[in-house]
Structure 1
Amino acid sequence: MNSFYASVEMAENPDLRGKPVAVAGNVEERKGIIVTCSYEAREKGVRTTMPLWQARKVCPNLVVVPPDFETYKMYSSRMFQLLQEYTEKVEPVSIDEGYMDVTDCQEPLEMAKEIQARLLNELNLPSSIGIGPNKFLAKTASDMKKPLGITVLRKRDLREKLWPLKVGEMHGIGKKTEEKLNKYGIITIKDLADAVDYELKHRFGINGIKMKERANGIDTRPVDPSAASDYRSIGNSTTLSEDLISVTESETVFKKLADKVSSRLKAKGYVALTLAITIRYSDRKTITRSKMLPNGTQQAIDIQKTAVQLFRRHWNQEPVLLLGITATEVVEKELATYQLDLFSVEKNEKDALLHDVLSSIERKHGEGIIKKGKK
């Protein structure tokens, strides 16, 4: 989807169409950050993660709106429902992006045109679609023309369309990896495609071989809807040996659960966009309550804090038999869009580091060895 959050805002409020629109956190504060912006705003020099004050300087007539994650999630659901009318083989990879396997369908180009038109006419949402023989080439093609682009990328097109590009422009290669590749003389995607396997594996591990395969248009990953659902929710729960009767007790339980969920997220390379808690009372009545996060996270301290907040808000004071935490919507870390806050990033990193240190001490010397002090 093109400028998804901003496009949803314009779909909800037609008066915004054609205007430079930005979705930003802390709209009334100087420290606000641009989450995403319309193409009209981009033409004026506004960019994602740009400080709000700077964005308003380059574009004085910028229309700034706060994020509405529940509405974005609703539009995302409608978008994927539309895709599933064409094939059951739909794999979501983020709130606004997914893969479709249309191998068994006729005329994929005509299908792409129809899907793009329907998304625009029925949901008022612009999209870009890539068509290729595998996930990597389809994804790469989808990035080649925005907004409202449809691009076909075949293996025979690599020499002309892909190989001349800088290696950092290849999907899946970040800034640090690009710098490391450049250090070894790999400047273009063609250089990567021709690189020696042994040297790549020695310097980058198995990921080096995968990068070379992608540069040569090789990607054997299937479009797997079941795999998508597997990682789009990651959670843990525990049945308590004794009924829980206080918020203080819940904090201890949620800390253990948050550590487990955080470890699984980090192992898979995902961040949580939405967190839910499960509360099962002694009479077996069970409720689930969720919260969409302003920033994707994989840190245990953030997960625990959100879980305790939800528990305080929704616990009915009755004895609790089971507690659980689930990241009900997750995406790959590199694909997550963060609502950054320049003044809180450093603090969050320090808090996360402290939490990891304390957890390590407890694992080594036993739970409960560290007590919370009073202010």
Structure 2
Amino acid sequence: TLSLPCSIGISPNKFLSKMASDMKKPLGITIITQRNLKEVLWPIKVGDMYGIGKKTAPKLEEVGIKTIADIANYDNYQIIRQFLGKNTLIYYNRANGRDLSPVVYEDTDMKSIGHSTTFESDISDEDSLKEEFKKVCLTVAERASKHDMYSNCVVITLKYTRFKSVTRQMLVQEYMNDYEKIYSYVMMLFNKHYTHEPLRLIGVTLNNVKRKEAIIEQMNIFDAKNEAVDPIDSLIENINKMTSAHLIKAKDYRINGKS
């Protein structure tokens, strides 16, 4: 384990959780609810309220706004408004435990997925290097699959010495995250750019990673038969079938003398 300290804040909304997480650093858990709000939150100095700047806090203190309880008191609203302007209502609500701002979670901030390995001793044997690349590619593929990310840009890093390293990339026509394809493109880059000198480190990275739903690929005409049938095309086809059926039926009537 890394034994990293962590403080946790638990509450009904984002603002209170932020305030709670700062109360017992570096290691602790703080819970703020509507029941203990006045006891836990209100005694805090105005300068320690999340969002109140270092320049604004002294000005508020000069006019008697010294704690969060003072901001929560509506009698002080107009005084506070002189310093916080249009944001006064936001801070008034927060001081009273109300915050409707959503938790913004972006898990698509990831721009690349990569892995590298440093050898205990430099390697120059190509077969051994290819085996090491297989391990690195497998790790990259597993990470990409875990996060459901795809890439159309493969990058390799070849580090020969502390001062000499080479990075090369390849743009491909498909987005992929499976091991076999990643490894095949990596080998293309390796075979083209490796100088047969001993290597200290190798690395593989997928750049320009995207989720499947964010990928817009040009349709291959040879794959068109696998695409869903266009509703208009389907309608025209049904009309043609019905017309053909009526013509055949009419022809049968004439042949049988029933026209």
Compute the TM-score of the two structures, normalised by the length of structure 2: 0.43
Task: Name the larger-Rg structure.
Answer: 2
